[in-house]
Amino acid sequence: MSVRRVMGIETEYGISMPGAPHANPMVLSGQVVSAYAVAHGVRAARGSWDYADEAPLRDARGFEMSRGVAHPSQLTDEWGITDAADDPTLANVVLTNGARLYVDHAHPEYSSPEVTNPRDAVTWDRAGELVMRESVATLAASPPGVNLYKNNTDGKGASYGTHENYLMRRSTAFADIVRHLTPFFVARQVMCGSGRVGVGTDSQWPGYQIAQRSDFFEVEVGLETTLKRPIINTRDEPHATADKYRRLHVIIGDANHCDVANLLKLGTTALVLDLIEAGAVTDDLTVRNPVSTLQAISRDPSCTHKLELADGRRLTAIELLWRYFEMSRARLEATGEGSERHTAEVMRWWEDVLTKLEADPMGAAREVDWVAKLQVLEGFRQREGLEWNDPKLKAIDIQWSDVRPDKGLFNKLRAAGRFTELVAEDAVRAAVTDPPHDTRAYFRGRCLDRFGDNVVAASWDSVIFEVPGQRALHRVPMLEPLRGTREAVRELLDQADDVADLIRSLAVAD
């Protein structure tokens, strides 16, 4: 048991054009993607996305939704290989770090490359912030430009996602995942919520809450991601060997700026998934009315709300998380894997943050986004004598997540040393262009770097090459996420004189 598993983060960024509140967000998002692509010599038709293996309507419960009844936002496999010159709202590129940068309906999205541990997930997620920051700076040269925000709601009723992905064993019963993961997700927000001014989907009531996304969830289990949002999403699209892997698509998290909170979001979830896979959940923590409980916890920054379990016990979210912590610690002691460095780091921070939240939530301001934001807002409220419905507080909330270093409040406070940083800035800068070393993202990213002119399309599980002088395209499948690593393919890539040489070498290696 450990936190090590294939994982990644997808982040949709909030977008606006200064002085033009009604500007088309899809067009603006296309400009963001295209600005970065052009600056780095990448056309949307070079390194585009391969949709051949996508199946967004396949449900983990054993059926496939009819395309006729699916919401258009769910049909993410219909675009094909496109050129942003034909339609900028379809701008879509694969980056040399193995990530995907594209327009996801009304938002620019950065989908990080696959990694194998939470620290790397934080690193390549922060790399996405620098990608978006560069696009904003590029577009600012032609006013009015655009502004981007790493957040999850505009405060006016719109919500957009920060999704996590975890590979799991296909053999694990999905019913067990739902049963044991739902209580954890209901409570997890006290460690990794990003904080929000306003209560209700339209911020119709004044106040402050722990998580940005909680008010937007309506059901316990479901396939949708943009309407009737479920706590447990059932999309069964593994992007890997289907009879071996299940990709758990998690849509309930917030976009994090704090390294510790982001690490805990990924790391504690990985540990709970290990408990579920091993059948080692020894305490049934099933929550009564999980959707309303999720929202009640979010609306209680004191963290004293008592949720009710199915067996009648009443616990705070912190107390429930301690139960998961204790089960994880017992499992690690039994397996002897607690000393693995990434696992030990997560366990250390898990205990530290829960201890601080339990004593006084404000004591976790260096580690937890919602606490840090609340501390700033309360200081401003007291100085100015403001109520929670004051528009100035909503403006601060939005400005907190601005990606620009001189405008974003979080960025300015981070520069002042207000937060605990786990990842050095030079590592984040390197991750903007370099792929992770220990997953197939290495092969994908290096192919874009070395042979970008010959890459027609790519996806999480394939790269399609055009070889000069040959009529047929060459599709290289990558269904095993732990193949295509630096150790396995660096020599092949470095020694290949051209793409034809690479294709021949891969054929021999197989």
Query: What residues are labeled active site?
Result: 104
**Helix (H), strand (E) at residue 15:** strand 14-16
**Helix (H), strand (E) at residue 107:** strand 107-111
Paired tokens of 242: 């289907």
* DSSP class per residue in 215-253: GGEEEEEES-SSSSEEEEE-B---SS-TTTEEEEEE--P
Question: Strand pairing of 63-64 and 245-250?
Answer: unpaired
Amino acid at 346: V
What size, in residues, is the chain?
Answer: 510
Paired tokens of 505: 């070498």
Q: 442 CB contacts (<8 Å, ≥6 apart)?
A: 98, 435, 436, 484, 485, 486, 489, 490
Paired tokens of 40: 């780095």
Q: 94-123: buried (b, 16+ CB within 10 Å) or exposed (e) per residue? A: bbbbbbbbbbbebbbbbbbbbbbbbbbbbb
φ, ψ for residue 44, nearest 5 deg: -65, -25
Question: Strand pairing of 217-222 and 229-233?
Answer: parallel
C-alpha angle 311-314-316 in degrees, rounded to nearest 5: 135
* DSSP class per residue in 287-336: BSSHHHHHHHHHT-TT----EEBTTS-EE-HHHHHHHHHHHHHHHHHHHT
Paired tokens of 429: 């800068």
Question: Strand pairing of 48-49 and 455-459?
Answer: parallel
- Residue 169 in 3-state DSSP? strand
Tell me, rounded to whole angstroms, the distance of Cα 340 from its chain centroid. 24
Q: 163 CB contacts (<8 Å, ≥6 apart)?
A: 9, 10, 225, 249, 250, 251, 253
Among 192, 144, 127, smallest CA distance to 18 is for 144
d(CA 248, CA 244): 13
111 in Cβ contact with 460 (< 8 Å) = no
